[in-house]
A = this chain, B = another copy of it.
Amino acid sequence: MRLAVLEAAADLLLEGGLAAATIEGIAARARVSKVTIYRWWPSRGSVAIDAYFHRFRHTIDVADSGDVDLDLTAQLERLIGAFDGRPGVVMAELIGQAQSDPALAETLRTRWLEPRRAAAIAVLERAVGRGQVRADADLTVLMDQLYAPIYYRLIMGHQPLDRQLAGILVADLLDGVRKCSPTGDDRSSRPGTSAPITRPARPEEPPRRT
């Protein structure tokens, strides 16, 4: 019965946005009483977010292939895929509403964001355990540098949100984008160009990280 409520709420939410996912509407669609819904959820917002999480629960799954690049990229791709079309519009709406509704914000954080972060941080922790990611990296910041750009593009709309983004986010962050030129004297050998390209872009050790 709890499942019927979640399915009904997810349907309404994805069809008509948060405004359509009323307790009355959900109760009618799930063929349960409003009392039943209020037994499990304190508010419309909390049913809506649980329903959204339920509908996209599989996007939280992370393979453990041993290859951190592959596993992170696949998880980011699944999130980007989940936000394609209506579901992305609804997530943007939920985030938007949460800015003026502290209870909804709290629900969004605890029922959507935190479980997802826990799953994704486990990938990073395994990577640290395997010696693939530096043990001194701040994993909460890494998480934001991987996931925030997806939400940011979703809510700002300044750049497209396509699956290709996933691999770039992971590669940028794992390998860095610094171009190494420790001696700096390559420059003199190529007059007329301002950007010398004479060394491997990827050194054995990252420079200047203290």
Determine if B176 and A173 form an interchain contact, defined as CB atoms under 8 angstroms apart.
yes
Q: Which of B131, B196, B208 contacts A201 (CB 8 A)?
A: B131
Shortest A196–chain B CB gap in Å is 5
Q: Which of B73, B157, B186 contacts A131 (CB 8 A)?
A: B186
Determine if B175 and A174 form an interchain contact, defined as CB atoms under 8 angstroms apart.
no
Contact with B along A127-161 (1 / 0, CB 8 A): 01111111111101110110111011101111100
Answer whether residue A200 sits at the interface, using C-beta atoms and an 8 A cutoff: yes
Q: How far is the CA of A90 from the CA of B44 in the complex (A)?
A: 25
Known: A69-B207, A131-B197, A149-B144. A173 touches B173 (CB 8 A): yes
Determine if B144 and A195 form an interchain contact, defined as CB atoms under 8 angstroms apart.
no
Residues of A in contact with B, size category: 35 or more
Give A160's nearest chain B residue, CB to CB: B140
Q: How far is the CA of A175 from the CA of B206 in the complex (A)?
A: 6
Q: Which of B141, B149, B165, B206 contacts A202 (CB 8 A)?
A: B206
Determine if B209 and A133 form an interchain contact, defined as CB atoms under 8 angstroms apart.
no
Shortest A175–chain B CB gap in Å is 4
Q: Which of B108, B129, B135, B151 contacts A152 (CB 8 A)?
A: B151
Determine if B138 and A201 form an interchain contact, defined as CB atoms under 8 angstroms apart.
no
Determine if A114 and B176 form an interchain contact, defined as CB atoms under 8 angstroms apart.
no
6 pairs of A and B residues whose beta carbons are closest in the complex: A96-B99, A176-B176, A148-B152, A144-B149, A130-B195, A148-B148
Residues on A lying within 8 angstroms of B by beta carbon are 66, 69-70, 73, 92-93, 95-100, 105, 108-109, 113-114, 117, 126, 128-138, 140-142, 144-145, 147-149, 151-153, 155-159, 165, 167-169, 171-182, 186-187, 193-197, 200-210
Q: What are 5 inter-chain pairs, A to B, with CB distance below 8 A?
A: A109-B158, A141-B169, A145-B148, A167-B208, A173-B177
